[in-house]
Amino acid sequence: MSMDATMSPTAAEAANATEAGARALTADGDPIKMRGDKVCVFYGDKQALFDIDLDIRERQVTALIGPSGCGKSTFLRCLNRMNDTIDICRVAGDITLDGMDIYDPSIDVVELRARVGMVFQKPNPFPKSIYENVAYGPRIHGLSRSKAELDDIVASSLQKAGLYEEVKDRLDAPGTGLSGGQQQRLCIARAIAVSPEVILMDEPCSALDPIATAKVEELIDELRENYTIVIVTHSMQQAARVSQRTAFFHLGILVEEGPTQDMFTNPRDRRTQDYITGRFG
Amino acid sequence: MFWTYLLILAALAVTAYFIGRSRSGKVVDGDYSKLHSRPSFHGGFLAIVTVLPALAVLVVWSIAAPRFIDSAVVSQSVSAVADLGKPELEAFLRDARAIAFGGIVGFTDDAKEQAAELFRTYSSYSTTGMNIVLALLVALGFVYGFRKIAPRMRARHVVERTTMVFLAACSAVAIVTTIGIVLSLIFESLMFFRQVPVFDFIFGTHWSPQSAFEGAGVEASDVNSEIFGAIPLLVGTMLITAIAILVAAPVGLLSAIYLSDYASQPVRAVAKPVLEILAGIPTVVYGFFAALTVAPAFRGFGEGLGMSVSSESALAAGVVMGIMIIPFVSSLSDDVINSVPQSLRDGSAGLGATKSETIRKVVLPAALPGIVSALILAISRAIGETMIVVMAAGLAANLTVNPLEAVTTVTVQIVTLLIGDQEFDSAKTLAAFALGLLLFCITLLLNIIALRVVQKYREQYD
């Protein structure tokens, strides 16, 4: 259900950008979906992030870990410009999506967020029915021409989020009536419904019990086939379970980034080792 | 007199508090951890048992004693007052009291002098008696409490219980007052309905109780129930309220949306208080504004278009009333919209919705119950409003839905019915109570609806 390049100007631009610069690849040959280059973030006078250089690889799960207040959520929110809603927040440096600068004045933040979706820490379904929750995004972006098409999008999104079987008989029930884990999967379905290319997840399991967490983690693993995923997590085990790449933030600095396997078995930096072995954080 | 006693009791309470506190320390030899209750609770306990019974007696005595004295004086001076009517008897007692305790005396005679002497004697008995009783109660209470203080004594429970009773008594005041008002409305209305049938009142279409010669007489048989039809008033009230809401709902709601989601912090910091000042303007000022500026302007405008607009029109009153209730709508809606969790806005923005889409499709539906109740509160306010209508819409009870004509409302008629020299049991005066009851029922109904709406949708997000 990818966007038709001829229909969406942004998609067309993106395609052009990609063609022009060929596909940007990392040193070891993975395609790069998003790239942060010397990203600094300021809240008023206080600097929260210092010169972050980070590549997000396409169709991989990148986990951002680090102690509270280290700036990992701030970085995540920069990736779809959710920080724009905070008046005192200022972002410097470049962040690109398929080679296109997302902070460029010509970029429409609404279209950017349609391509880079977000799932939040606390499940936040709208006070509407399950169906309306999922149909919300496709409706505002005009992704369907008929009711039947919209029904298809809703059903397939719920299926991809692994929620369809549980709710197919009560799509008209309020989304807020679901359990916490179901609500979070509903929010994921809602994000998937607008066919994003990247999904950002800000501690998506921190409000869930272990069983619901396991389901969401399983889902993340499946979604990797079609989407690029960036996940912020406090749980080292979760990072180890679901991600291919891990980035460790500390005090606003990106300390270390690498394959998850290596990070947990053989960290290069002393601070990373201290953190993942539980000496602080 | 009463206040002196109160001051003395307060001083005693403070003293007892400190004595109780230090006593509690002594019974455990300074080892406070052995006390069940903190020392301050022991102090509070001693203060309560010392002063509270005396206080209760003081209040009851102060209310009851004058009546007892009055009746005692009357029974002693039977010969002088035997053939006096009620007002004359009261005048007699008033004069006698004035002679006894100082004050302005109408005229004196022997009987009054005697009665004054009786007043003096009895009230000195009463004062002495009360002093003895109060002193006894204070002393007994203090001794009882002082001896009761012990390490395991549950002073905290007594203090907390007393506090609870006091708080309950305070809320009872509001409830009892409300019940009293409602009951008096109902009883006076019943007297009215004895003269004018309920049906004629609620469904009658002609309202002119001022025309007393048509039969708003004192005797039930004289009353012409034809002239007490409340329909024109209700229609006038509804018409003006509807116009007011048509003005206030869009303006108030849209400004609330601007203030809560679009305005920058400095703008909001200035605009919100300014908007709330609008609520602080006395309604009589709005009345001037309506009668002297808005109504003539509408008339001039209407004449320009070739329409005849009455110089007192429902439109002028309604529009100005709408302006008056804008702050109710905007301020309450603003609070409600602000209380919609930020996470819902983020969720919508994260899906690529624009700000206005987020507001229209997520924030407003979530805030709807609160907005509805804000509107209903504003409507109740508009229905109860009097001054603007008196000044701008006139007094003529026309049965019309044309906003360009003069109409009148329930509240305005209540005012006009009670102004002037009327006997308090004529149908005309009693009609005011019936109208009050009607108004009360309408606003009560609206409030109940508002409460229901809020309760039904309250836990939609959480």
CATH of the domain at B230: 1.10.3720.10
How far is the C-alpha of A11 from the C-alpha of A1, rounded, in Å? 13
Contact call for B352 and A114, based on CB within 8 A: yes
Selected residue with higher pLDDT from A19 and A181: A181
Average pLDDT of the segment spanning A49-67: 93
Residue A9 has pLDDT above 60, yes or no: no
Average pLDDT, chain A: 87
Query: Given pLDDT bands bounded at 50, 70 and 90, which one contains residue A43?
Result: very high
Q: How far is B359 from chain A (nearest CA, A)?
A: 12
Cβ-proximal residues to B176 (8 Å cutoff; 6+ apart), any chain = none
Contact A52, A45 (CB under 8 A): no
| A207 touching chain B per CB within 8 A | no
- Say what the pTM is: 0.72
Is residue A180 situated within a structural domain?
A: yes
Selected residue with higher pLDDT from B404 and A224: A224
Is residue A131 situated within a structural domain?
A: yes
Structural domain including A177 reads 122-196
Nearest Cβ partner for A110 among B264, B343, B352: B352
Is residue A142 situated within a structural domain?
A: yes
Burial class (CB in 10 A: 0-12, 13-18, 19+), B336: buried
Q: What is the pLDDT of residue B89?
A: 81
Count Cβ neighbours within 10 Å for each residue of B337-347 and write b for 16 or more, e otherwise. beebeebbbbb
Count Cβ neighbours within 10 Å for each residue of A77-93 and write b for 16 or more, e otherwise. bbbbbbbbeeeebebeb
User: DSSP per residue over A2-23, as a string?
Assistant: PPPTTT-HHHHHHHHHHHHT--
Q: What is the ipTM of this complex?
A: 0.81
| A117 touching chain B per CB within 8 A | yes
Is residue B198 situated within a structural domain?
A: no
Contact call for A140 and B460, based on CB within 8 A: no
Contact call for B351 and A85, based on CB within 8 A: no
- HEC string of B387-432? HHHHHHCCCCCCCCCCCCCCCCCHHHHHHHHHCCCCCCCCHHHHHH
Is residue B205 situated within a structural domain?
A: no
For residue B261, list chain A residues with Cβ-Cβ distance below 8 A: none
Look at chain B and report how many structural domains it folds into. Answer: 2
Is residue B304 situated within a structural domain?
A: yes
Whether residue B264 sits in one domain with residue B121? no
Q: How far is B362 from chain A (nearest CA, A)?
A: 7
Nearest Cβ partner for B351 among A85, A113, A122: A113
Q: What is the pLDDT of residue A7?
A: 45
Average pLDDT of the segment spanning A159-174: 90
Is residue B309 situated within a structural domain?
A: yes
Is residue B338 situated within a structural domain?
A: yes
Whole-number Cα distances in Å, A184 to A171, A201, B182, B313: 16, 11, 52, 57
CA closest to B362 among chain A residues: A126
From B152, B182, B198, the end of a domain falls on: B152
Dihedral angle computed from the Cα positions of residues B57, B60, B62 and B66, in that order, rounded to the nearest 10 degrees:
-130
From B112, B128, B152, the end of a domain falls on: B152
Contact call for B365 and A127, based on CB within 8 A: yes
- With vertex at residue B406, the alpha carbon angle to CA B403 and CA B411, rounded to the nearest 5 degrees, is 100
Q: How far is B337 from chain A (nearest CA, A)?
A: 14
- What are residue A65's DSSP bridge partners? A248
Whether residue B228 sits in one domain with residue B148? no
How far is the C-alpha of A125 from the C-alpha of B460, rounded, in Å? 10
Is residue A157 situated within a structural domain?
A: yes
Whether residue B104 sits in one domain with residue B234? no
Is residue B14 situated within a structural domain?
A: yes
Look at chain A and report how many structural domains it folds into. Answer: 1
From B152, B177, B202, the end of a domain falls on: B152
Average pLDDT of the segment spanning A233-260: 92
pLDDT tens per residue across span A65-107: 999 889 999 999 999 998 887 888 999 999 999 989 999 988 8
Structural domain including B264 reads 220-460
Q: What is the pLDDT of residue B17?
A: 95
Average pLDDT of the segment spanning A203-224: 89
Q: What is the pLDDT of residue B290?
A: 87
How far is the C-alpha of B272 from the C-alpha of B264, rounded, in Å? 12
Residue stretches of chain B with pLDDT short of 70: 210-223, 420-425, 457-462
Q: What is the pLDDT of residue A4?
A: 44
